[in-house]
Amino acid sequence: MIDLQECRNEIDKIDSDIIRLFEQRMKVCEDVAEYKIRTGKKVLDPERERQKLEVLRGKAHGEFNQLGAQELFQQIMAISRKRQYQLLTEHGIEDDEKLEMVDALPLKDVRVVFQGVEGAYSYAAMREYFQDDIESFHVKTWRDAMEAVVEGRADYAVLPIENTTAGIVADIYDLLTEYELSIVGEQIIRPEHVLLGLPDAELEDIRQVCSHPQALSQCGKYLESHPDWKKKEMENTAGSAKKIKEDNDKTQAAIASRQAGELYGLKILAENICYNGQNATRFVIVSKKPIYVKDAHKISIFFELHHESGTLYNMLSHIIYNGLNMTKIESRPITGKNWQYRFFVDFEGNLKDSAVKNALRGIEAEADRMRILGNY
């Protein structure tokens, strides 16, 4: 009869040996790091890792143990790399400073652009974020807002990036990768959608509802209870309120804010029409200046990976291993590369933190492409 305690004693002895050998190996890896710091050679050497895994696999017996040995040494080498990145940071080997730290965002005499018209939620977010008197103007599309910042006609743009009911605003994610702008701030607002009609309209008159697709989606449940209403997508919510006013047709209604209703002299036909009482939209503030404020606490990045087992896991391990808290992950298709994806990750931290530096160094070195979208 096998004795469990005896087995456990033996396992304990073997594990102690593994720890001793692991630490011995890590010591050698630190020497390797020193060599690499001196020579500027890259930490990651994929060819060396491939050869090692092949040899070590061959040393194990049976398919199960071969796979196990490969997995084990993949992890050991990943840990070795993480230690080396740490040593690079400790030796003050700085990656190129991608963003410059500032005490506070420049807010004097700035111009801010938003998409939509006055009364739009972007306008409300802008008013909330920029407390001071700022000059603002609006444009027709999100791309126009990006262009205005790139061309220097605006210092900042306010863009909706996600909503707690309808999810991400995919176009904004894609535009953020297309334009080299930095996210320097964020503002959350709680849109309170209402159904607006002409002053003499009643709910029974309505045949068509127009609004931005996000607002139509956030009020999806309410609209399902009026299946005969036609839905018309518009570029923004406030614009749809404006259209009701201009068309002067009492069979039309718009989903927009209370403020938009007041602005265009419309009547509230229904309120509380978003089934999610917690409905909130997050806006990002983007700037052409590659800056971040010194007390910034959230980092947004994106990276691209090649299709290989474990690549995403490996990227995320840099965040986990450095004790950072990931708050969001999204993926978007990469145009021109079918079935390949770009990952967007948010995590807590400041670019000056060593843990953040180590994680970003690792991700940048091991992803096909990585960019910091902002620290705010």
Ligand X SMILES: O=C(O)C(=O)C[C@]1(C(=O)O)C=C[C@@H](O)C=C1
Binding stretches for ligand X (CB under 6 A): 29, 32, 43-45, 48-49, 77, 80-81
Between CA 365 and CA 311 the distance in angstroms is 12
Say how many residues make up the chain: 376
Beta strands in 21-134 (DSSP E): 100-102, 111-115
How far apart, in Å, are the Cα atoms of 104 and each of 246, 291, 373? 43, 10, 18
The distance in angstroms from the start CA to the end CA of the chain is 63
CB of 343 to ligand X, least distance (A): 22
Of residues 75 and 325, the one with the C-beta less far from ligand X: 75
CB of 57 to ligand X, least distance (A): 15
Relative orientation angle of helices 170-178 and 142-150, to the nearest 10 degrees: 20
CB of 63 to ligand X, least distance (A): 24
Of residues 36 and 143, the one with the C-beta less far from ligand X: 36
Residue among 281, 303, 343, 344 flagged as catalytic: 281
> Is 281 one of the catalytic residues?
yes
Q: Residue 128 is encoded by which pair of tokens?
A: 């909330």
Between CA 319 and CA 325 the distance in angstroms is 7
Closest residue to ligand X, based on beta-carbon distance = 80
Of residues 40 and 152, the one with the C-beta less far from ligand X: 40
Residue whose token pair is 């180590």: 358
CB of 304 to ligand X, least distance (A): 20
Q: Are 311 and 331 in contact (CB under 8 A)?
A: no
Of residues 65 and 75, the one with the C-beta less far from ligand X: 75
Of residues 29 and 157, the one with the C-beta less far from ligand X: 29
Phi–psi pair at 308, nearest 5 degrees: -155, 145
Of residues 29 and 189, the one with the C-beta less far from ligand X: 29
Q: Residue 277 is encoded by which pair of tokens?
A: 């009482």
Handedness of CA 16, 21, 27, 30 (dihedral sign): negative
DSSP lists the bridge partners of residue 347 as: 299, 326
Q: Residue 168 is encoded by which pair of tokens?
A: 């991400």
> Is 283 one of the catalytic residues?
yes
Residue among 73, 130, 283, 347 flagged as catalytic: 283
CB of 52 to ligand X, least distance (A): 6
Between CA 163 and CA 170 the distance in angstroms is 11
CB of 41 to ligand X, least distance (A): 7
3-class secondary structure, 50: helix
CB of 19 to ligand X, least distance (A): 17
How far apart, in Å, are the Cα atoms of 278 and each of 42, 45, 194? 48, 48, 15
Biggest CA pair distance of the chain:
90
Q: Are 244 and 253 in contact (CB under 8 A)?
A: yes
Of residues 32 and 293, the one with the C-beta less far from ligand X: 32
Give the active site residues.
281, 283
